[in-house]
Structure 1
Amino acid sequence: MPYELENRLVIGVASSAVFDLGESDAVFRREGEAQYRKYQEQHLHAPLGKGIAFPFIKRLLALNDLCSDPEDPLVEVVLLSQNDPDTGLRVMKTIEHHGLGMTRAIFMQGRSPYEFIPALNIALFLSASKRDVDAAINAGYPAGQVLDSQFDDDEDDPSLRIAFDFDGVLAGDESEAVMQRAGLDSFHAHEVLNVAQPHNPGPLKEFFVRIARIQAAEEHHKISNPGYENRLRVSIVTARSAPSHERALNTLKSWGVMANDAFFLGGIEKRRVLQVLKPHIFFDDQSAHLKSTSTVVPSVHIPFGVTNQVG
């Protein structure tokens, strides 16, 4: 029987999101493809360093221990690479070296494989390439650009903390458009008027829905393992405040998901909260917010909606 992807959380990652490719990329830019290929062959058995999304991916894959059948995991992470298979071999050996449970990969020489996101039922594609992420978002696919950020991979900490902005990330940009066009008072009036109407989904809504299934799996696991402590924690960190908070919470409830924490900051700098919360990954659609958050936590830009429109 074929390996089914429909009931899993599937993440697609470029090697640039998970590993440190700085030295390899410098060779490519400085000396061209032929020398890059030679360099990768010479360093085939030298593992690449950890990249920004490494702690997130490692902890996400670790949640597969909730499954009784290792052949039926909750999480699948697929490598989507612009390398050809030969130069991509070093990445595969690095995955093996770090003990990451990633066995599936797509290599497409010089082309971004983002077009395969729907074919693989991918709920999130991560890459350090702005061009590739922009193209994926423009095609209607869930994608984020991993930014150069501070990150901590504490080996003794098994927990996985994920933080989301709300508008333009989990929800669509309808309300954000009101904010940009008419200001804060009109935004609040719009949210109060539509408080019972769930928001349209944003790029990462389906990702959150599938994360919620893993949260449910943890709760089920606790029934037969009373001493188990939940590892997965989800937080909303948004510039919304009362009275616009209620529609956001109603929307999450309508999707069948719930955050463990919600921070309705009303313009307080998100970095202040995030440096205490210490998520392993934070998603936001606004570059202005991410400029400061990336100094304290791994930050991902979701280039979606009105705040990212050029001109």
Structure 2
Amino acid sequence: MAEYDLSNRLVVGIAPSALFDVSDSHEAFTRGLDEYRRYQDEHIDDPLPRGVAYPFIQRLLGLNDLRPGDPLIEVIVLAKDDATTGLRIMNSIAHYGLDITRAVFTGGKAPFAYIDALNVCLFLSGSAADAAAASAAGYPAGQVLGRTALETDADDPHGLLVALDFDQVLADDEAETVYRSSTFPEYLAYERSNANTPLGEGPMKRFLVALGRIQEAERQHSKDFTAYKPRVRLAMVTARQAPAHERAVRTLRSWDVEVNDAFFLGGVRKAHILAVLRPHIFFDDQINHLEHAQATVASVLVPFAARGSAEQLDAPPTLDSAGAATDAAARTAKRG
């Protein structure tokens, strides 16, 4: 078999707890590993219900028709299951017709250790502990929350709208650190004086840049097929306001990325905007923003505070497909 190169693709690593609703198997897991294995074996042909990230993944994979035979997007299952309990997961993927053919089953160990080897730019899990541990190890991880996005879209049934916060999601925590240690006027003055200095990259920067490359592929495709309507839209939804907005825009430009929509809300509740925008997925580092948004939008908590925090790696082991528990530390409210 010829080597399959992942270097020129957008690669997402996904835990079963993000792709599917695993509440049934989670209940079995609480009764012990043997009971979990028996339950999964008995239900091996019963498809798992769709989970929070399912519509996002389905639409993302749909973009592979832009480059038939040489996919732009690769989604790889990263799970703590073993190969046997993983059979139900792979059977569920086949049932829904998702083009996911690669998987890593680690038999109880942390699967995110393989993120770099697989060129993964986004790892999604339903487990707060696993997302925090991956983030602590420096990986681009997030915990899915809330409900799935609406799967029907009268305007564009194949479109994909991704919305992201800026500070501590796309960019690093430099501005956040200044904000916390200064008065608000001092923070605005700092951002104004540094407007031409791009911020460092945050955990989701590579993911955004990869989406930007797909948008460029769409633009090239539309030159050959004039009837083609681009499907990917990117939105930035941030608590920044003028004059701090300029540094965010210039930072994106330094990465050669442009967003279609930008919302500089200056304290306005993000959920109000998201209810109208209706992204298929929204990334933020603050649980207080997501607590309001997750009722209507598939949401991802980016545990930036866990980055570089070694103690997060000592979180108790859970099985990915049973790990939808909430981590209290990941629910600490922050500004962002």
Query: Are 2:79 and 1:81 aligned?
Result: yes
CA distance in 1, matches of 2:270, 2:307: 17
Seen in structure 2, the aligned counterparts of structure 1 residues 284 and 137 have a Cα distance that, compared at 3 Å, is: same
| SS of residue in 2 equivalent to 1:158 | coil
Q: TM-score by structure 2 length?
A: 0.89
1:215-245 Cα offsets, whole Å, 9 max, x none, are 0000001011111111111000000010000
Q: Which residue of 2 aligns with 1:121?
A: 119
Query: Are 2:193 and 1:210 aligned?
Result: no
**Where does the alignment leave 5 or more consecutive residues of structure 1 unmatched?**
none
1:164·1:235 contact (CA, 8 Å) conserved in 2? yes
2:135·2:307 contact (CA, 8 Å) conserved in 1? no
Q: Which has the higher contact order (CA 8 A, sep 6+)?
A: 2
Query: Are 2:268 and 1:254 aligned?
Result: no
| Structure 1 residue 155: Cα displacement | 7.1
1:149·1:294 contact (CA, 8 Å) conserved in 2? yes
Query: Are 2:13 and 1:12 aligned?
Result: yes
2:138·2:308 contact (CA, 8 Å) conserved in 1? no
AA aligned opposite 2:76: V
Query: Runs ≥4 in structure 1, deviation > 3 angstroms?
Result: 305-311
**Equivalent pairs, count:** 308
Query: How does 1:3-82 map onto structure 2 within 5 Å?
Result: 3-29=4-30, 31-67=31-67, 69-70=68-69, 72-82=70-80
1:286·1:308 contact (CA, 8 Å) conserved in 2? no
| SS of residue in 2 equivalent to 1:198 | coil
CA distance in 2, matches of 1:307, 1:82: 21
1:52-82 Cα offsets, whole Å, 9 max, x none, are 0000000000000000x32x11000000011
> For structure 1, which segment, 148-157 or 129-138, has the greater mean C-alpha deviation from structure 2 after superposition?
148-157
Equivalent position to 1:111, from 109, 112, 128: 109
1:161-207 Cα offsets, whole Å, 9 max, x none, are 10000000000011011111213212211110101100000000011
Q: Which residue of 2 aligns with 1:281?
A: 281
Q: Which residue of 1 aligns with 2:194?
A: 194
Q: Which residue of 2 aligns with 1:94?
A: 92
2:235·2:259 contact (CA, 8 Å) conserved in 1? yes
1:239-272 Cα offsets, whole Å, 9 max, x none, are 0010000010000000000000000001000000
1:28-50 Cα offsets, whole Å, 9 max, x none, are 11x21111111111111110000
Q: Which residue of 1 aligns with 2:325?
A: none
Q: TM-score by structure 1 length?
A: 0.96
AA aligned opposite 1:73: P
CA distance in 1, matches of 2:14, 2:148: 19
Query: Are 2:165 and 1:173 aligned?
Result: no
1:66·1:221 contact (CA, 8 Å) conserved in 2? yes
Seen in structure 2, the aligned counterparts of structure 1 residues 140 and 306 have a Cα distance that, compared at 3 Å, is: closer
Equivalent position to 1:138, from 118, 136, 139: 136
| SS of residue in 2 equivalent to 1:50 | coil
| Structure 1 residue 153: Cα displacement | 1.6
CA distance in 1, matches of 2:235, 2:150: 18
| Structure 1 residue 307: Cα displacement | 11
2:136·2:307 contact (CA, 8 Å) conserved in 1? no
AA aligned opposite 2:108: G
Seen in structure 2, the aligned counterparts of structure 1 residues 289 and 183 have a Cα distance that, compared at 3 Å, is: farther
Query: How does 1:145-156 map onto structure 2 within 5 Å?
Result: 145-154=143-152
| SS of residue in 1 equivalent to 2:234 | strand
| Structure 1 residue 150: Cα displacement | 4.9
1:173·1:305 contact (CA, 8 Å) conserved in 2? no
Query: Are 2:186 and 1:183 aligned?
Result: no
| Structure 1 residue 136: Cα displacement | 1.0
CA distance in 2, matches of 1:177, 1:296: 31
| SS of residue in 1 equivalent to 2:88 | helix
